[in-house]
């Protein structure tokens, strides 16, 4: 029950700070694009946001949690499937260029703070060359690397927790 309550409070915090993003048509469309392994871009972004909150809390790093969540949810907001044969040639340098594309897409739809821009623009460091300049961006960068590793090697799988109200809360668990 303790784990369920913890997941519920994290989901509530994600909804409070990033509900507009989570409910947006474009963010929902990212369910159709694979990011790493079998994980969709949508689920990957939520997983990174959850992991970023956990890192911040476990390590006692003071940060702006709202900007941390919003930046994490939008860090891969590139809105295309870079795995499809038609896009593969065009996006073969995806790792280098998608942060800029994600930032442009996010800026069209949301008013971004400087921290949120830094998170999105620099989450692929060291590929982006210029390192993050705020704690929130460093946390999301670490969380993204960790989540990507677990997803690529199929160490994580999606798990769903149901609240009494019937709403589904996305969560992830290690594969044994």
Asked if the model's pLDDT at residue 2 lies above 60, the reply is no
Asked if the model's pLDDT at residue 158 lies above 60, the reply is no
What is the rounded distance in angstroms from the CA atom of residue 161 to the CA atom of residue 20? 22
Before 154, cis peptide (omega within 30)? Answer: no
Asked if the model's pLDDT at residue 169 lies above 60, the reply is no
Q: What's the pTM value of the predicted model, to 2 decimals?
A: 0.81
> Between vectors from CA 52 to CA 49 and to CA 58, what angle results, nearest 5°?
140
For the residues of 11-67, what is the DSSP string, one character each? HHHHHHHHHHHHTSHHHHHGGGSEEETTEEHHHHHHHHHHHHHHHHHHTT----HHH
What number of residues does the chain have?
Answer: 176
What is the rounded distance in angstroms from the CA atom of residue 88 to the CA atom of residue 156? 25
pLDDT in the model for residue 164: 46
Q: Domain 2-174 belongs to what topology?
A: Hypothetical protein af1432 (1.10.3210)
Asked if the model's pLDDT at residue 174 lies above 70, the reply is no
What average pLDDT score do residues 36-53 get? 88
Name which of 28, 32, 48 is nearest 40 in CA terms.
Answer: 32
pLDDT in the model for residue 33: 79
pLDDT in the model for residue 153: 82
Q: Where are the chain's structural domains?
A: 2-174
Asked if the model's pLDDT at residue 157 lies above 80, the reply is no
List pLDDT tens digits, range 118-129: 999 998 898 878
Of 149 and 137, the one with more pLDDT: 137
Name, of 10-14, 56-60, 129-133, the range with top average pLDDT: 56-60
Name which of 28, 24, 42 is nearest 147 in CA terms.
Answer: 42
């Amino acid at each position: 029950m303790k784990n369920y309550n913890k997941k519920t409070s994290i989901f509530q915090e994600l909804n409070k700070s990033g509900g507009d993003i989570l409910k947006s048509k474009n963010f929902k469309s990212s369910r159709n694009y694979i990011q790493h392994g079998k994980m969709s871009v949508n689920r990957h972004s939520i997983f990174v946001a959850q992991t970023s909150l956990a890192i911040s809390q476990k390590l006692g790093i003071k940060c702006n949690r709202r900007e941390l969540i919003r930046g994490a949810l939008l860090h891969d907001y590139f809105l295309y499937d870079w795995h499809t044969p038609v896009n593969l040639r065009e996006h073969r340098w995806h790792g280098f260029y998608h942060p800029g594309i994600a930032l442009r897409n996010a800026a069209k739809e949301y008013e971004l703070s400087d921290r949120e821009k830094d998170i999105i623009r620099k989450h692929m460091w060291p590929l982006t060359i210029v390192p993050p300049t705020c704690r929130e961006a460093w946390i999301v960068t670490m969380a993204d690397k960790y989540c990507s590793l677990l997803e690529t090697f199929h160490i994580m799988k999606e798990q769903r927790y149901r609240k009494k109200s019937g709403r589904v809360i996305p969560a992830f668990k290690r594969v044994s």
